[in-house]
Amino acid sequence: MPRLMVFNQVSLDGYFTDRNGDMSWAHKDDPEWTACASENAKGGGTLLFGRKTYEMMANFWPTKAAFEQMPAVAKGMNDMQKVVFSRTLDKATWKNTKLVKGDLVTEVGKMKKAPGADMVILGSGTIVSQLTQAGLIDEYQLVVDPVVLGEGRTLFEGVKDKLNLKRTNARTFGNGNVVLTYQRA
């Protein structure tokens, strides 16, 4: 059965977007970090997105600029299978993308029971909070960036039940990022 993971960058004060929904603060030029991102993009699996994150990603990764800035990551992002959950999108045009309009929790539950590759959620805070509440996420990989935003959105808005986690890994980078990996306790 496929596992479901979250991979998201958060500020030191716990936000994944700033007060205006911007995530550009999370992108720092650093060779070590770029090498890690490039290696992750080769990992295969299926990427899961909500509409907002999908539109942001689909507007960047297939572009010439993406291939010039981070060629390995761009290739991986474009080649990987992707699923976008949206009730408002009419079609998904990014290469290897399937549009799912059904109930998020039900559909992801089915995907976890079917044979297939592991799945990773990038961004998509609303999806993260709903699937956390439903108990469907197996692992959280949170990249803590050394920046304080003051306001923004957390990944866990709307989660009502306490979630105990255990840290399974930690990795620090020269740019100040720290990747913390957690699984359900």
How would residue 36 be classed by pLDDT, with cut points 50, 70 and 90? confident
Residue 38's pLDDT is what?
Answer: 65
Nearest partner of 8 among 176, 120, 138, judged by Cα: 120
Q: Return the higher-pLDDT residue of 71 and 34.
A: 71
- Tell me, what CATH number does 168's domain have? 3.40.430.10
Packing angle of the helix pair 71-79, 31-41 (nearest 10 deg): 20
The domain total for the chain is: 1
With CA atoms as reference, report the closest residue to 180 among 12, 2, 3, 1: 12
* Whether residue 49 has pLDDT greater than 90: yes
User: What's the whole-model pTM score?
Assistant: 0.90
Structural domain of residue 145, as residue ranges?
4-184
